[in-house]
Each structure stands twice: as structure tokens, then as C-alpha cells.
Amino acid sequence: MIAHQTSIADVLVFEPKVFGDDRGFFYESFNENVFAEATGLRPRFVQDNHSKSAKNVLRGLHYQIQQPQGKLVRVTLGAVFDVAVDLRINSPTYGQWVGEVLSQENKKMLWVPEGFAHGFLVLSESAEFLYKTTDFYAPQHERCIIWNDTTLDIAWPLETAPALSAKDAQGSHFTDAEKFTAL
């Protein structure tokens, strides 16, 4: 795996070395030593999640105010535009976002550290999205920022209005969202 910086230093893109031929392919989807060298972290991943969504579904921007989750995300079928928003008040990139296309073709993974809101938009007919988390899902601590918040001004590559869950449609504005003071 090769780690690439994004415009937010703590958010990294991991690009695996893919070995393939007419029979198929092989790649290492996670290597703790490579991850630690790139991030300085050796997180304990406690939960793996797998979701499938249809084209134009937008999920997020989710975060947990307690039990914050670091997420290593990837797509195994289709393509998504994946977004991380820095909610760490003391960070020099507070309130900034980074977006990356993740797909079955490019096999890239995005590291979304604790203290970030996370969301994605499905670009293909459908997409299967997998991610490892550093803490367990805690619905009582989950919060959501509205996808189209004007302060964040995320450049979602939308052709029409996105398909949202009721929860995501009721997300708060960035200025009203609970932030992280120490992480």
C-alpha cells in the first residue's frame, strides 16, 4: 500500500499495489505496519461494516460525540464520492472537508480519523461500501450534519437531488453541530 496526503494532513488515501492477470487480482487491503508508518497510529479496529446503496444515495455526514470512530473506508463494487469534514475545534483545518472518489476500479481506501464527520454519495448504479471502525456504533451518541450545509459548501458531484434517509434529511447545520475539543 502507498499512502497519499490529502489537503487535510490527518486524512490519508491508501492505494494498494494490485497484482492481476486474466485470472483475476490480489491486493493487500490492510497492513498495520504500513498504516502505522503513514499515520503514526496503530488503531484497534473493533467493527467492520458493509453497506449497499443505490445510485444517488447520499449517506451522512455522520459522527459520534462520544465513542468517536476512526474509519478506514473502501468500495468493493461501484463508485462513491467520499467526504470527511474536520470537526476538531483546535485543528488548523477545522471546518474544512476533503473528498475522494473510491471505486472498485481504483481500490483506494480513505482513512477518516476520529473527530471527523463522514459521508458519501453513490456515483454508480449501486455501490458496496466497507469500513473498519476504531470504536463501536453508539446510536445514542450519533449526530448528523446536513449534506448541503452552506458553511461547508461541499462540492458533491450531483446530477439531481440525492436520495436521503429521514435522519440524514434532518441533519443539523455545521454552526449548530457538536464539535470535538480534544482528540
Q: State the catalytic residues.
A: 62, 131
Would you give the DSSP letter of residue 17?
A: P
The residues that bridge with 52 in the sheet, in sequence order, are 128
Residue in 84, 76, 27 with CA at minimum distance from that of residue 52: 76
Residue in 73, 180, 151, 76 with CA at minimum distance from that of residue 119: 73
Residue 24: CB partners within 8 Å, gap ≥ 6? none
- Residue 123, all three cell numbers: 456515483
Give me the amino acid identity at 1.
Answer: M
Q: How far apart are CA 72 and CA 2, in angstroms?
A: 14
Q: How many other CB atoms are there within 10 angstroms of residue 72's CB atom?
A: 21
